[in-house]
Amino acid sequence: MILSSYLPKQRLLVVTAFLIFFTFVIFPNYSISGYQPDYSRLVELIRLQDIEKPFYVFNNFVDEPEPECLKATLKYLTEHQTFIDKLRADLHSPTLRWEIKKMEHRLLFVPETRKEFVKLYESYCHDVLNFIFKKTNLKNPYKNILTLDHEVGSLFDNNLDPDGITACLVHNLAKEYNASCVFYSQGSSQVKVKIKGRIITGEVGSYTSDIFLHDDGSVEFIRNNYTIWQNSAENPYTALMVPVEETLHILLRESTENMIKKEILLNSITNIDDVIPVADGWLAIEEAVVGGIVNELLPSFLERHITNLPSSFIDEDLQLKNRFKKYKYLQKGICVVERIGYVEAINIYRNNTMAFKKMMVY
């Protein structure tokens, strides 16, 4: 996820991926005496009607523009012509100019309160990740996996926790925003308006890095100490894929950051307009290798543990992703990982990221 930012200390980008009711021992043994858990019930639970409330606060308001919130503000003004007509009348002006002076936003979440769903999804996350770690020999990055049931506030800041990352499981995610707008008449009159809104993010998983360009020309990345996984999705496969996909993003992100930093420094980039395409380009490569590994490993786990998940769900998920620019190399990534193997794909991406990019682009 990429979000433009205009903050002090030249913070330019966000690279996007309280009370705890349920906690579990981290990563129990994947198989005990040959026992293979059945997660078929998860498919039924994921397809149940969404829980739409209550919304709890995940983090404090951040004072910066946010693309989805900007789009929602513009949509509101476009769709509420009566409101615009009133402003014209108040300002005695047939035409108006306007700008957003300030915007703040924060994450909200709807907790999962169904005990059966919580217990089963938590167990699934542990088992599927143990499977991935065993197959890839990748290190477990998690301090804990928690299902949230109350407001978090500022519990999770942007400092990387040396003890590991916390995976926060929720039912749904939303963004709440306040946009302070000023409308101007043809003369010197003006009206200040605050527009408040809430939008469902549509993102089932998130892990974020912040990019800072310092005055001395150095580049710094600060990663969140949490990742958020949503257990609801129109396609059950999408929700089942989230723990694996986001974990791979976490474990491969350092290589992506190194390439972004290298390109920024090589081209002496100092402004956000030039940084955004660099970050977007490398994140598309990261999405390709992650998607290829997920496609190679996850179906075999699901076949053994879920009996009611049609293969068509996987195809539908891929078709949906193909509509988005950040997945433009996904199909190529899947083909490359199938050809060279997931272990070799991980090794190349970590040790020679440019070589993997060349396999995507050329």
Q: Which amino acid is at 5?
A: S
Which pLDDT score, from 0 to 100, does residue 34 have? 56
- pLDDT 10s digits, 250-262: 999 999 999 999 9
Stretch 269-292: mean pLDDT, rounded? 93
- pLDDT 10s digits, 135-160: 999 999 999 999 998 877 666 655 55
Which pLDDT score, from 0 to 100, does residue 301 have? 97
The DSSP secondary-structure symbol of 161 reads: P
CA pair distance 91, 351, nearest whole angstrom: 61
Q: Which amino acid is at 243?
A: P
Which pLDDT score, from 0 to 100, does residue 60 have? 87
Which pLDDT score, from 0 to 100, does residue 159 have? 56
| C-alpha 55 chain-centroid distance | 19
Percent of the chain with pLDDT over 70: 88
Which pLDDT score, from 0 to 100, does residue 131 have? 97
- pLDDT 10s digits, 192-201: 999 999 988 7
- pLDDT 10s digits, 307-321: 999 999 999 999 999
CA pair distance 362, 354, nearest whole angstrom: 12
CA pair distance 161, 51, nearest whole angstrom: 31
Look at residue 202 and tell me whether its pLDDT is greater than 90: no
Look at residue 181 and tell me whether its pLDDT is greater than 80: yes
Which pLDDT score, from 0 to 100, does residue 163 have? 76
Which pLDDT score, from 0 to 100, does residue 168 have? 94
Q: How confident is the model at residue 161 (pLDDT cuts 50, 70, 90)?
A: low
Which pLDDT score, from 0 to 100, does residue 16 have? 53
SS3 66: coil
The mean pLDDT of the chain is 87
Which pLDDT score, from 0 to 100, does residue 187 have? 83
Q: How confident is the model at residue 270 (pLDDT cuts 50, 70, 90)?
A: confident
Q: Are 222 and 158 in contact (CB under 8 A)?
A: yes
Percent of the chain with pLDDT over 90: 70
The pair of three-digit structure tokens given for residue 177, joined into one six-digit string: 């925003």
Q: Going along the chain, which residue ranges are E strands?
A: 2-7, 11-15, 20-23, 56-57, 62-63, 97-110, 142-148, 165-170, 172-184, 190-200, 205-206, 209-213, 219-223, 226-230
Q: Are 60 and 154 in contact (CB under 8 A)?
A: yes
- pLDDT 10s digits, 98-109: 999 999 999 999
Which pLDDT score, from 0 to 100, does residue 152 have? 76
Which pLDDT score, from 0 to 100, does residue 271 have? 84
User: What does each C-alpha distance from 359 to 279, 284, 310, 324, 349 come to in angstroms?
Assistant: 18, 13, 31, 20, 11
Which pLDDT score, from 0 to 100, does residue 15 have? 53
Look at residue 28 and tell me whether its pLDDT is greater than 90: no
- pLDDT 10s digits, 203-238: 788 888 888 888 888 899 988 889 999 999 999 999
Sign of the dihedral through C-alpha 334, 336, 341, 345:
negative
Which pLDDT score, from 0 to 100, does residue 160 have? 54
- pLDDT 10s digits, 61-115: 988 888 889 999 999 999 999 999 999 999 999 989 999 999 999 999 999 999 9
Phi, psi of 178 (to 5 degrees): -125, 125
Strands 226-230 and 165-170: parallel
Stretch 281-304: mean pLDDT, rounded? 97
Look at residue 9 and tell me whether its pLDDT is greater than 60: no
CA pair distance 141, 146, nearest whole angstrom: 14
CA pair distance 313, 311, nearest whole angstrom: 5
Burial annotation 20-55 (CB, 10 A radius, 16+ → b, else e)? eebebeeeeebeeeeeeeebeebbebbeeeeeeeeb
Which pLDDT score, from 0 to 100, does residue 7 have? 29
Which pLDDT score, from 0 to 100, does residue 194 have? 95
Helical pair 272-305 and 312-321, crossing angle rounded to 10 deg: 180
Strand order across the 209-213 sheet: 2-7, 11-15, 209-213, 219-223
CA angle in degrees (0–180, nearest 5) for 273-263-281: 65
Domain spans of the chain?
2-361
Secondary structure (DSSP) of 297-345:
HHHHHHHHH-SS--THHHHHHHHHHTTSGGGTTHHHHHHHHHHH-HHHH
Look at residue 12 and tell me whether its pLDDT is greater than 50: no
Q: How confident is the model at residue 30 (pLDDT cuts 50, 70, 90)?
A: very low
